[in-house]
Amino acid sequence: MNFQINKDALLNNLLIAQKALSNKTPNPALQGIKLDVLEDQLIITTSNSDIAIKLNIKDPSLNVETEGSLLIPGKYFIEIIRKLDGLKVNLSLVADNTLRIEADRSDITLNMMDLEDYPELQFSEKVKSIKINVRILKSIIRQTSFATSTIENRPILTGVNFKIDGNKLTAIATDSYRLSQKEIELKDKYEPLNIIIPGKSLEELLKVLNNNNDEVEIHFDHSKVLFKYNNILFQSRLLEGNYPETSKLIPTEFPIVIKFNKEDLMTAIERASLLSSRDGNNAIVKLSLRKDNIVEITSNSPEIGKVLEEVYPVDEIVGTPFKIAFSSKYILDALKIFNSSEVAINFTGEIRPFIIKGEYDDKMLQLILPVRTE
């Protein structure tokens, strides 16, 4: 095996492949990067059992003298390529178990891993795939995956539920204390689909998608999902089981509706959470609607002090005075993903779930459960 390629072209693809490189695995071979050198392309493959990435590189700078395949220690290979000088890098097999890396004045040899230990990965593309604009897919992931559970005792809640009915795609995530739901209309109609993609996989996918108007092809089977984007094949396992039916959790009637400037509300909640009697991610704040239609955001810590923030709604309030307490982290997480500058919080009662919606965030809602403080 012997080939030359532009160093930056190689490095940029290696940094994408790195997302699926395993650090902790019972199979040491998954700490390696598989290189397949063909006549007109270089194929890079990585996997950590949960996700796998395959990159087909046909860069103009690629010059293949001899074809071949090998498995190279991923961490060391990426760091070597990252720190090389020069525009081009030459990689050649100089012995049965040694890769020679030459660039500018550098001449480095790296011991290879046993290729036979690497699992046989299948990146199966289906005849019928779902096509979606990359920006829309990124918004779906960004607006849902943060609400997945980080606790493994209910594995099903660590994923995002994707449902397709005709030309409607619905993505839902919940950790049982909050819920995020996003709906979009697809260009075409598809067969009904109901799958659960791990939230961590989607977060890694988000890192490899660009902000352009390209399309992503999504291929499904019974146990995995494949995203095809430019020269990238990104594959993830699916979670097994039935996702809880969440539609019954979403209220339909709201006796109290308050519209806020999003930034004003976030700032008030952030300041109030500083002196909450509960620290960090568990900080609880209270919201009170006064008779004069001014909203108070408060927190109190007997040992430290208390905070009272006044927030003026941006529109006439529907409803009567009331009080409610909630996790500051949950509401801030939800507010951050809205593109709208104004948000409406729809309340159903002091101890019942409330919903946040934004004028320019069509078909997206955030639901949060309040906290009992007495």
Mark whether 112 and 143 lie in a shared domain: no
* H/E segment holding residue 206: helix 199-208
Mark whether 141 and 48 lie in a shared domain: no
Q: Is position 283 within any domain?
A: yes
Mark whether 267 and 341 lie in a shared domain: yes
Mark whether 40 and 109 lie in a shared domain: yes
Domain final residue pick, 117, 150, 179: 117
Domain final residue pick, 243, 273, 300: 243
Mark whether 204 and 270 lie in a shared domain: no
CATH number at residue 195: 3.10.150.10
Domain final residue pick, 55, 87, 117: 117
Residues 44, 22: Cα–Cα separation, whole Å: 15
In which order are the strands placed within the sheet that holds 284-289? 305-311, 295-301, 284-289, 322-327
β-strand pairing of 284-289 with 295-301: antiparallel
Q: Is position 124 within any domain?
A: no
CATH number at residue 274: 3.70.10.10
Q: Is position 155 within any domain?
A: yes
Indicate the DSSP class of residue 113. Answer: B
Mark whether 86 and 160 lie in a shared domain: no
Q: Is position 122 within any domain?
A: no
Its domain, for residue 98, covers 2-117
Q: Would the pTM of this model clear 0.85, i.e. be above it? A: yes
**Chain centroid to CA 362: how far?**
20
Mark whether 31 and 112 lie in a shared domain: yes
Residue 199 structure tokens:
């939230």
Q: Give the number of domains in the chain.
A: 3
Residues 223, 335: Cα–Cα separation, whole Å: 34
Residue 163 structure tokens:
């449902």
User: Tokens 């923030």 sit at which residue?
Assistant: 309
Mark whether 335 and 272 lie in a shared domain: yes
Mark whether 239 and 260 lie in a shared domain: no
Q: Is position 228 within any domain?
A: yes
* Per-residue confidence in pLDDT tens, the chain, 374 aa: 999 999 999 999 999 999 999 887 778 999 999 999 999 999 999 999 899 999 999 999 999 999 999 999 999 999 999 999 999 999 999 987 899 999 999 999 999 999 999 999 999 888 778 999 999 999 999 999 999 999 888 999 999 999 999 999 999 999 999 999 999 999 889 989 999 999 999 999 999 998 888 999 999 888 999 999 999 999 999 999 999 999 888 998 999 999 999 999 999 999 999 887 676 667 899 999 999 999 999 998 888 899 999 999 999 898 889 999 999 999 999 999 999 999 999 999 888 999 999 999 989 999 999 998 76
The pLDDT score that the predictor gives to residue 319 is 84
Q: Is position 373 within any domain?
A: no
Mark whether 170 and 229 lie in a shared domain: yes
Residues 259, 183: Cα–Cα separation, whole Å: 22
Mark whether 145 and 108 lie in a shared domain: no
Q: Is position 298 within any domain?
A: yes
Q: What is the identity of the amino acid at 82?
A: R
The pLDDT score that the predictor gives to residue 302 is 81
Residue 299 structure tokens:
């927190």
Q: Is position 123 within any domain?
A: no
Mark whether 140 and 239 lie in a shared domain: yes
The pLDDT score that the predictor gives to residue 279 is 64
Residues 296, 36: Cα–Cα separation, whole Å: 62
